[in-house]
Structure 1
Amino acid sequence: MEITLQVNGVPHTVDTDPRMSLLDLLRERLGLAGAKKGCDHGQCGACTVLIDGRRANSCLALAVAVEGSAVTTVEGLADGDELHPLQAAFIEHDAFQCGYCTPGQLCSAAGMLGEPGPSAVTDDILLDPDLTPEEIRERMSGNLCRCGAYVNIVSAIAEVAR
């Protein structure tokens, strides 16, 4: 099947198998290796990208299902040589160790910052809560870090949220 999508602001028309995941399309066909294949079951978040501005596990999304969508990977967060504020904050706060989960953490955080509304830990569901460390931890709970850099990840995200 031929599909057309925009990846990091660049339009692409790609011939793909209808069973191919978005993750495999990004890595194997477009050469974008930022999104990682961790568990390949949507449980770790290493493959998180933004699809039309919303976070998604690219290992679970079929490439044909994102036809016509705008996909942003970690490679597309920066503006040329200017790092995205989250990327700069991750460096400043040492919010990574091995770095394998970092692209997914960054894309998830970028999407999370634009998501309004309460989470499971919000006291008053009628309010749009401040992004406290507890809120950030809850909203980022789909992204796992085997190295345990969570404290620094939360503080980097909190700095950008302020």
Structure 2
Amino acid sequence: MILLVVILAISVIYVNTNYLFSPIFFPKGNIAQYDYSFTSFKKPVLIEAVKWDIDGNQKVIHYVTDEQEVKSLLMEFDKANKLEGYSNEKYLSEAPFPERGAEYNMNFKQVERWEGDIAQGRILINFTFFENNNVFDISGSYFYELTESFKGDILNVLSKTER
């Protein structure tokens, strides 16, 4: 019995040390639609956010490396409401060009190595949104509600990492 408890404790410590999620607390919403398990989120996982100004020029690259902030934003992504019957045309028409503001490309990335100050690794989840719109998209095909709270949390985290 004691051996079983020791093995269980070591397993829990190993999972918590090496993975962002455990099998028990793995998200069951939008993230579950991907062919991922808790082992897909091997640490380190970060957010790479690329901000494009309204002229289409890359303005800033942010890296969010704080594990709790990354996990929190992943959980908000996981809970976002999917917009059924929504199209790319509707997405772009609701945010006309000059009013849409900056575009953000959000990459949740499993880091394999750093080359200088650029994180190299596998992109686990990617989505895009415009600063003045309340929708985010995945590959221009899937659209989700971007609540003011989620957008505020993203912009708040990014403001801490602006280069």
**TM-score after normalising by structure 2:** 0.29
**TM-score after normalising by structure 1:** 0.29
| Larger fraction in strand | 2
